[in-house]
Chain A
Amino acid sequence: MIRLCVIALAFSSFALGQASHDLSGIWRWSKGVLTMSNTTPQMTPWGQAKFDANKPSYGPRAIPPALGNDPQGKCDPLGIPRLLFFGPTARVEIVQTSDRLLQFFEWEHIWRTIWTDGRALAADLDPTYLGTSAGKWEGDTFVVDAVGFDERTWLDHFGDPHSDEMRLQERYRRVNRDTLELTLTLTDPKAYTKAWVSETKTFKLQPKKDEIQEIFCVPSQEEEFNRRVRDPAAGKSGK
């Protein structure tokens, strides 16, 4: 009986939105399109030019990697939010400390720091691949604001662009022990004529034994792979 009460309390704490502000664990993509949403806002001329110049190897515009220019093909950093849209192949592990929340991305084997020490985001940050992020709890939702992104990364696998003016807000909510939901709002007046609000993404908690693997993207090995595999696959000579 006591055990049942404990279990009931644990579940009710999530149901009532009184979870322990704990997002830690190994999470795997479960549901959602691998971009903000299927409805892209109208792009500015600058955004459209970037989109047209990007030659992806995923989605309706996909061409073989040997013929495209996806930064991933050369192991260039994917950046945020693309790493969040990577899909079920790679996990993300969340670790929380007293002044930050860390996202360890299995793909590229890198981490992102989300500061939780109350700092404000500076207005004139030098752009970086992962941007600069600050997070805080609003009830049961962890809200992250991020700015200062390097515009050389793509927004997603499909070649959607962003600029260094992109501001991103992520809202994480752990709806039960095993389920983490994420919605994003992207504001980038240089690339899009209005804000882009995502659909809800879902991640599922993985067992602890499913540890983060070392999945580097090694430029020399990827170059060799391109030469010996991707080029022949596309009909190019792989010498």
Chain B
Amino acid sequence: MNRMLLVRLVICCVPMLAHHGTNASYDLGKNVTLKATVTEFVWSNPHCALFFDVKDDQGNVVHWVGETNSPGVLLRAGWTRKIMQPGDQITITVHPSRAGTATGVVQTIVLPDGKVLERGAGAAQ
């Protein structure tokens, strides 16, 4: 992952509320912010998923996936089913996978129009 284009790497120590398995699968002490292109936004229950491409520092495209909350929680946070379309250029911040794969749990997304999406409330760690 260190070869990928990391716009910003922030280490934080504030424990957060998360949903099923988040703390086990993802490093909640790290934020990774990426410039990305949306390839697919899956609106499904009880978790939505965002697929996106990121160019690494060699110019290679890396296929990422971001875990998000349920539609009900996202609706409360201002998301909608069609809020992102394939091809949209976004800036996305995730807690990365502990396994080092191109996966993460989504924290914030800056949309092409500048609107910021938050992840919504979480549950137990």
A residues lining the B interface (CB < 8 Å): 34, 57-59, 62-66, 68, 70, 72-73, 75, 85-90, 106-107, 157, 210, 213-218, 221-222, 224-225, 228-230, 232-235
User: Is B69's CB under 8 angstroms from A89's CB?
Assistant: yes
Is B21's CB within 8 Å of the partner chain A?
A: yes
Query: What is the bound-complex CA distance between A64 and B105, given in angstroms?
Result: 13
16 CB contacts below 8 A, A to B, read A34-B123, A58-B125, A87-B124, A89-B73, A89-B121, A157-B123, A213-B72, A215-B45, A216-B46, A218-B46, A225-B42, A225-B49, A228-B49, A232-B99, A233-B101, A235-B97
The smallest beta-carbon distance between A82 and chain B, in angstroms, is 10
Of the candidates B47, B76, B121, which one forms a contact with A225 in the assembled complex, judged by CB atoms under 8 Å apart? B47
Residue of A90, A106, A229 touching B47 (CB-CB under 8 A): A229
Residues of B within 8 A of A (CB): 17, 19-21, 23-26, 42, 44-47, 49, 65, 67, 69-73, 75-76, 97-103, 121-125
Q: A230 CA to B49 CA in the complex, in Å?
A: 10
CB contacts (< 8 Å) of A215 on chain B: these are 45-46, 70-73
Taking CB atoms, residues of chain B closer than 8 Å to A58 are: 20-21, 23-24, 124-125
Q: Are B24 and A62 in contact (CB under 8 A)?
A: yes
A34 nearest CB across to chain B (Å): 5
Cα–Cα distance between A153 and B23 once the two chains are bound (Å): 22
Give the dominant DSSP class at B's interface. Answer: loop
Q: Are B125 and A62 closer than 8 Å at their CB atoms?
A: yes
Cα–Cα distance between A64 and B26 once the two chains are bound (Å): 9
- Using CB atoms, name the residue of chain B closest to A86: B123
Which of B21, B97, B99, B125 makes the CB contact (< 8 A) with A65? B21
Docked complex Cα distance between A225 and B51 (Å): 12
Q: Which among A59, A221, A230 is the interface contact of B25 at CB below 8 angstroms?
A: A230
